């Protein structure tokens, strides 16, 4: 179960590329109007006919017939950038930006 490509084309392409590199047959692309509703995804996964990706610190309890397993060696990394006006003097924004983990690209 996935999100439609139109929601985030670059992220969709990266996720599907990584999954295909592991030999997964992904099937058809999700419908463009499909929403990511956790309960629906978990119910579908519970049928045993699909899988879905979820963050490692999922806050909602999983149904008994669903198991969360981390991906081996963390092959998917979501990169996020922050941008703000150069003339900004907001301390709350500075504290937020400072708290973000950074990586070298």
For 10-57, write each residue's pLDDT tens digit: 888 888 888 888 888 887 777 777 666 777 778 888 888 887 777 667
Judge residue 84's burial from the number of C-beta atoms within 10 Å of its C-beta, 0-12 exposed, 13-18 middle, 19 or more buried: exposed
pTM over 0.75: no
**pLDDT for res 103:** 64
For the residues of 27-96, what is the DSSP string, one character each?
Answer: -SPPPTT----HHHHHHHHHTTS------TT--SPPPTT----PPTT------------TT---HHHHHH
pLDDT tens-digit map of 66-79: 888 877 777 777 77
Question: What local confidence, expressed as pLDDT, does residue 1 receive?
Answer: 67
Say which residue, 59 or 22, is predicted with more confidence: 22
With CA atoms as reference, report the closest residue to 54 among 81, 76, 80, 86.
Answer: 76
How much is the pLDDT for 28?
76
């Amino acid at each position: 179960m996935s999100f439609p490509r139109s929601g985030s084309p670059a992220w969709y392409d990266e996720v599907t590329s990584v999954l295909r590199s592991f030999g997964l047959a992904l099937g058809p692309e999700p419908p463009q109007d499909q929403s990511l509703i956790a309960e629906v995804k978990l119910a579908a996964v519970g049928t045993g006919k699909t899988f879905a990706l979820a963050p490692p610190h999922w806050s909602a309890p999983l149904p008994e017939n669903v198991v969360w397993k981390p991906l081996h060696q963390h092959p998917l990394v979501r990169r996020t950038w922050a941008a703000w006006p150069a003339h900004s003097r907001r301390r709350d924004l500075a504290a937020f930006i400072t708290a973000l983990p950074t990586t070298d690209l």
